[in-house]
Amino acid sequence: MISHILINNNGVLEPADQAKIPAMDHGFLYGDSVYETLRTYDGMPFLLDLHMTRLERSLGRLSLTLPGERKDLEKEIDRTLSGYTEVIKGEWETQPDLALRIVVTRGVGPIGLDMSLCPETRFMIYASPIPNFPDDLYTHGIACVISSVTRNHPNALDPGIKSGNFLNNILAFRDAKDAGAKEAFLKGADGFIAEGTTSNVFMVENGGLLTPKAYGILDGITRRTLIEEAHRAGIDCQETDITEERLRSADEIFISSSIREVVPVTTLDGKTIGDGTAGPVASRMLKLYRERVQAEL
Amino acid sequence: MISHILINNNGVLEPADQAKIPAMDHGFLYGDSVYETLRTYDGMPFLLDLHMTRLERSLGRLSLTLPGERKDLEKEIDRTLSGYTEVIKGEWETQPDLALRIVVTRGVGPIGLDMSLCPETRFMIYASPIPNFPDDLYTHGIACVISSVTRNHPNALDPGIKSGNFLNNILAFRDAKDAGAKEAFLKGADGFIAEGTTSNVFMVENGGLLTPKAYGILDGITRRTLIEEAHRAGIDCQETDITEERLRSADEIFISSSIREVVPVTTLDGKTIGDGTAGPVASRMLKLYRERVQAEL
C-alpha cells in the first residue's frame, strides 16, 4: 500500500502519497535513472556494500554521478530507516522489515537527450514494509511462464544496468499476468533463457544447479550469494547457457531476488515441474541463504 | 529554457519550473509512459490527427488508455495553446510557434510491474517555444555519427512505440556529443541503418531517395509526409534496407523531424558528405515540406 511507503525525497522524508518530483526531471521524461532494491533484516540493510557498489557501476555506465559522496547516501539510508515509524503510522509495534528502493535520477533539465542539460542528479529512497509472504509461497511455489518478449540486448540497453527503463520487463510481466502466473522468464536475443522480470533463475538437473551466465542479465546479488553458498555446501553450480527445452525438463526451478529470497517455480507454462511442490535443492538453497543472512547480521 | 515551458499537468496549467508529478507515478518509476512531439505553425498544431492516432497506437501496444476521450485531450491541447502567453511571460509580442510534448503516463500505483496496480492514467502537455533555428542549419547542415549503440529490438521494446524508455537513444546521443556532432544514427540488430535518436534518416543516391523500412524504427510523421511529397513531385523514394557502407557513400543525407523539419547532414563520422553543404535534393525536400505546411494551414 502506498500509504505505508516512506520516501526520502532528495533529503526530505515524506509519505509516498505526498511526495512529488519535478516534471522536468529526466527520470520522468526519459526513464533516465538507476536504482537498487535491497531489504532489511532486523532493521539492518542486507549486503548494502554490494548494492552500493552495483549502484555506482550502473551510474558509471550511464555517465551519471551520485548527488554526493557514497557515505552521504549511506547516511540518508540510515536516516530513512530511523525515520520510518515516525513518519509512517502503521499498525506495527516495532519497525517491520523494509524493502528499500534507492533511485538516482538524472535530475532537472530542459527537454533534450544531452546529458549535460541536467547539472545535478537527485536521489530518492523508497522504504516499504516487506509483505508477510505466506509459508505456502516457499512450500508450494509459484507458476511462471516463458515470455514472448525478448530481453533487451546488451548493446542496446544492457540489462546489467539497473535502470528506470523497465518497459521490457513490464511487457514480459504482462505475459505472466495474462496466464495467471507470478513471474515471466525472458530469453535473450541469443535464444537462451536470461532472467525473470524481477528475479534470476536457477534450475536443478541431476542434483546440480544451473543458472544463466552473467551476460545480458542483471547479475543479481542474491544470485551471486546463492552461487557462493552452493559452492561452499559442495553443490555443483554451473553458470551456463540454458535452452528453453532444458529449462522445461528441469527437476526443479527456482527464482532468486533480494526481497523474496528463494522461491520455487512449480509450474512453467502450465506444466508441473518436479512434483509441483518445493524440491529438495530449492528448499536447501533457501535454508542456506537464510543461514547466510543470520551469519551476516 | 525551462522557464519558457508551460505544462498542462493533468488539467492544471503551470510553469514547468513549478510543475510536479507524484513520486509513485510509474512513468517515473519505470519510464512507463508514451508521448508524441508535434509543433504549431501560426498557432495551429500541425498534423494533429496523425499524432493523436499514433499516440493511441502506442498506448494500445502498452495496454494503456487515454485518461479520457480523444476529444477531451484535444481540448486540453487547445487550452494549453490558448493559455500559453497568459502563464508564461516571455519577451514575445505574439505567441511563438510551440513544440508540444503530449505524455500519457501509467499513473500512480504501488511498486510492482503489474499494469493493473495503476487504476488511472494521467496526461501532461509540455509547450515550449520552437528555437529560432539559424538559416545556417538548413544551408550548412549538421555533423552526425553512426552510434556504437544498437537500436532496441522490436521484440524487446519496439521503437515503433514512442515511449518514456529513452535510454537507448540517450546512450546513442552520447556518441554524437562525444564526437562534437548533433545527431547519431543507430543500426538495428539486423545491422542496417535504423534511425537517428530523435529523427528519421534519408539518403540520396543517383538523384533518388532511400530511407530505412518502417520496421524497428519510429515511423515518423515527417518521414511519411516527405515520402508522400517525394512521390507527388516525381522523385523516386524507396523504403529499403540501408547498409552503413551505402549511407557513407551517399550523395546527400538528411534527417527529418517534426520540430526541425528537414536538416542536411553534411559530415558523417567526420567525413564530408557531398560538398559539405545542403544538397539539391535535401533543399528541395525542405521546400516541398514547407509548402505542404502552408497548404495544410
For A37-48, the pLDDT digits (tens) are 999 999 999 999
Distance from CA of B236 to the nearest CA of A (A): 33
CA distance B103 to B33: 7
What does pTM read for this prediction?
Answer: 0.97
CATH 3.20.10.10 residue ranges for chain B:
135-296
* Residue pLDDT, tens place only, B264-279: 999 999 999 999 999 9
Residue A90: per-residue pLDDT: 76
* Residue pLDDT, tens place only, B58-116: 999 999 999 999 999 999 999 999 999 889 987 777 889 999 999 999 999 999 999 99
| Straight-line distance from the first to the last Cα atom of chain B, in angstroms, rounded to the nearest whole number | 28
Residue A179, Cβ density class (10 Å: 0-12 exposed, 13-18 middle, ≥19 buried): middle
The DSSP element (H or E) to which B296 belongs, if any, is: helix B280-296
- CB-based contact A27 B23, cutoff 8 Å: no
Q: What would you measure as the largest C-alpha separation in chain B, in angstroms?
A: 57
Q: Looking at beta carbons, which residues of chain B come within 8 Å of A178?
A: none
* Residue pLDDT, tens place only, B172-186: 999 999 999 999 999
Looking at B62-114, list the stretches that DSSP marks H as alpha helix, in order from N- to C-terminal side: 70-87
Residue whose grid cell is 555519427: B145
Q: Which residues of B are catalytic?
A: 162
Complete DSSP assignment for chain A: -GGG-EEEETTEEEETTT-EEETTBHHHHS--EEEEEEEEETTEETTHHHHHHHHHHHHHHTT---SS-HHHHHHHHHHHHHHHHHH---S-SSPPPEEEEEEEE--B--SSS-GGG----EEEEEEEEPP---HHHHHH-EEEEEEEEEPPPHHHH-TTS-BS--HHHHHHHHHHHHTT-SEEEEE-TTSSEEEESSSEEEEEETTEEEE--SSSS---HHHHHHHHHHHHTT--EEE----HHHHHT-SEEEEEETTTEEEEEEEETTEEPTTSS--HHHHHHHHHHHHHHHHH-
- CB-based contact B157 A163, cutoff 8 Å: no
**Residue A233 identity (one-letter amino acid):** A
- CB-based contact A198 B17, cutoff 8 Å: no
In the predicted model, is pLDDT for residue B297 greater than 90? no
CA distance B259 to B51: 13
CA distance A267 to A66: 41
Pick B2-129's CATH classification: 3.30.470.10, 3.30.565.10, 3.40.30.10, 3.30.310.160.
3.30.470.10
Q: By C-alpha distance, which of A95, A79, A107, A88 is closest to A8?
A: A79
Q: Looking at beta carbons, which residues of chain B come within 8 Å of A24?
A: 2, 5, 16-17, 19
Q: Can you tell me whether residue B134 is helix, strand or coil? A: coil
B276: left (phi over 0), alpha (psi -120 to 50) or beta: left
How does strand A252-257 pair with strand B33-41? unpaired
Exposure pattern of B113-130 as b/e (b: 16+ CB <10 Å)? bebebbeebbbbbbbbbe
Residue whose grid cell is 544531452: A114
Among the partner residues A1, A20, A149, nearest to B156 by beta-carbon distance: A149
Residue in A with minimal Cα distance to B184: A113
CATH 3.30.470.10 residue ranges for chain B:
2-129
**pLDDT tier for residue B167 given thresholds of 50, 70 and 90:** very high
Intervals of chain A under pLDDT 50: none
Q: Looking at beta carbons, which residues of chain A come within 8 Å of B129?
A: none
- CB-based contact A156 B169, cutoff 8 Å: no
| Straight-line distance from the first to the last Cα atom of chain A, in angstroms, rounded to the nearest whole number | 28
- CB-based contact A23 B2, cutoff 8 Å: no
Distance from CA of B150 to the nearest CA of A (A): 5
CA distance A56 to A43: 24
- Contact by Cβ (8 Å): A173, A184: yes
Which set of grid coordinates corresponds to residue B283?
533543399
Q: Which residues of A are catalytic?
A: 162
Complete DSSP assignment for B169-225: HHHHHHHHHHTT-SEEEEEPTTSSEEEESSSEEEEEETTEEEE--SSSS---HHHHH
**Residue A205 identity (one-letter amino acid):** E
- CB-based contact A111 B5, cutoff 8 Å: yes
CA distance A71 to B155: 40
Among the partner residues B21, B30, B99, nearest to A167 by beta-carbon distance: B30
Among the partner residues B16, B32, B156, nearest to A23 by beta-carbon distance: B16
CA distance B124 to A289: 45
Q: Once rounded to an integer, what is the mean pLDDT over residues B186-192?
A: 97
CA distance A31 to B35: 13
Q: Looking at beta carbons, which residues of chain B come within 8 Å of A119?
A: none
Q: By C-alpha distance, which of A200, A103, A70 is closest to A144?
A: A200
Cβ-based neighbours of B151, under 8 Å, separated by 6 or more? A156, B159, B168, B186, B187, B188, B189, B194, B195, B216, B217
Q: By C-alpha distance, which of B105, B106, B24 is closest to A9?
A: B24
CATH class for the region spanning B135-296: alpha beta
- CB-based contact B27 A28, cutoff 8 Å: yes
**Residue B136 identity (one-letter amino acid):** D
